[in-house]
Amino acid sequence: MESVNEHSAHVLFNRSYLLRLRLRLIVQAIGPMEGRKILCIGTLPTALRARLLTTGGDWTFSQESAAKLAYRDGVFDRVIIIDHLEWVEDDYGIVAEAHRVLKSAGLLFVDTEHRKRWTVWRPLRKLFGVEDRPARRVRDGYTERALFDILKDGFDIQETRSYSRFFVEGAETLLRLAVGAFVAGGRSDGVEEEEADDADELNQRIARIQTFAYPFCLIAAKLDWLIFFTRGYRIRAVARRRLWKPRRTPVLRDGRTLADATLNTRIGTAAPF
C-alpha cells in the first residue's frame, strides 16, 4: 500500500509541469527501462525520484561527489546525471566514473543548468532566496561546448539540446516564490514531532498552489514554442559509451572548435531570453 509520503510525492509530481517535462525527456532519451540496471547520480526532487521508480528497471540512486564511485566496472546499462555536475569540483572525474560503471555501448544522460551570458530569472531567484543550493554551486552551468569537452574522451554525443525557455522558467520562478512565501509564513516554533505531523498537510497545501499554477505553466510552455530560436535555461545531453581515449578538440580556420560548429548552431542570438 502506498505511504502518505509517496502519495504526496506523486501528487506534487502530477501538478508540476517542469518535473513532468524532465521525466519525459529522460524516458525519450534512454528508452525502455524494464530489465535494465540504471544509476542516477544527483540530488533529485523527491517527486521526480518517486516517479522514476515507477518506470521499471533496477534503479540505484547516488549523491556521490567523490573521485571514485562505489560500484564495479560495467554494472549499469544506463547512467543518468541530474543537477550534479555544477556542484562538484571534478566534473570530468564524475564523467570518467560514469564511463567505468557503464556496460559497453551503455547510454549516459546528463541534465544540468545551461550557462547563459544574460538571464532574467536566475538573478531574481538569488535575490529572493529560492535558488537551488546556491552556496554549494561550483560553476554556473554548462554550454554545449563545455559539455562536449568533458564527454568527448569516452562518449559519442548523440544529442545536445536546451529546454525550459523564458516563459516556462518565469512561471517556475513565480511558483517558487509563491511556495517559498507560503512555507515561510506557515512555519511555527513547535516541537519536531509536531512539525513531522504537519509535513503532509504542508505538501497538500503546496500541491494546491501547484494546481492553481499548472494552467499558467501550460500557457507558458505554449509561449516558449514562439521563441524556439532562443536558448533554454536547462541543457541535456545524450551520449553513448565508447572506448576511453583522450582526444584533442579540432579547431577550424575561423577559430571555432568543431563543437561550436556542430553543437552551438544558434550561438550569438541577440534575443535577451
Q: pLDDT at position 65, please?
A: 73
Q: pLDDT at position 57, please?
A: 87
Give the cell for residue 211: 494546481
Chain centroid offset of residue 20 CA: 12
Tell me what the mean pLDDT of segment 33-48 comes to: 89
What residues pair up with 37 in beta bridges, in sequence order?
58
Tell me what the mean pLDDT of segment 126-138 comes to: 74
Tell me what the mean pLDDT of segment 131-142 comes to: 77
Neighbours of 131 (CB within 10 A): 17
Asked whether residue 34 is domain-assigned, the answer is: yes
Asked whether residue 237 is domain-assigned, the answer is: yes
Q: pLDDT at position 208, please?
A: 82
Asked whether residue 210 is domain-assigned, the answer is: no
d(CA 214, CA 171): 9
Tell me what the mean pLDDT of segment 90-114 comes to: 94
For 233, 237, 260, the CA distances from 269, given in Å and listed in that order, are 14, 21, 14
Asked whether residue 176 is domain-assigned, the answer is: no
Q: What type of residue sits at position 79?
A: V
Q: pLDDT at position 162, please?
A: 93
d(CA 123, CA 192): 34
Q: Going by C-beta distance under 8 Å and a sequence separation of 6 or more, which residues neighbour residue 161?
A: 235, 236
pLDDT digits (tens, 9 = 90+) for 182-237: 766 555 444 444 454 456 677 777 778 888 888 999 999 999 999 999 999 999 99
d(CA 22, CA 178): 22
Number of domains composing the chain: 1
pLDDT reading at 273 higher than 70:
no
d(CA 136, CA 156): 30
Determine whether 93 is exposed, middle or buried from the number of CB atoms within 10 Å of its CB (0-12, 13-18, 19+): middle
Closest CA to 144 of 131, 126, 170, 163: 163
Q: pLDDT at position 271, please?
A: 41
Tell me what the mean pLDDT of segment 50-64 comes to: 88
pLDDT reading at 8 higher than 70:
no
pLDDT digits (tens, 9 = 90+) for 148-159: 999 999 999 999
Alpha helices (H) in the chain, listed in sequence order: 4-14, 17-30, 46-52, 91-101, 121-128, 144-151, 166-186, 192-197, 199-226, 258-263
Asked whether residue 206 is domain-assigned, the answer is: no
**Intra-chain end-to-end CA distance of the chain, in Å:** 45
Q: Going by C-beta distance under 8 Å and a sequence separation of 6 or more, which residues neighbour residue 226?
A: none
Q: pLDDT at position 192, please?
A: 46
Asked whether residue 80 is domain-assigned, the answer is: yes
Closest CA to 36 of 22, 55, 19, 17: 55
Residue 249 DSSP one-character state: P
CATH of the domain at 156: 3.40.50.150
Q: pLDDT at position 185, please?
A: 56
Residue 251 DSSP one-character state: B
Q: What type of residue sits at position 162?
A: S
Asked whether residue 49 is domain-assigned, the answer is: yes
pLDDT reading at 146 higher than 80:
yes
The CA radius of gyration of the chain, in Å to the nearest whole number, is 20
Closest CA to 41 of 90, 1, 97, 3: 97
| Structural domain boundaries enclosing 138 | 4-122+131-165+229-263
Q: pLDDT at position 116, please?
A: 86
Asked whether residue 90 is domain-assigned, the answer is: yes
Q: pLDDT at position 55, please?
A: 87
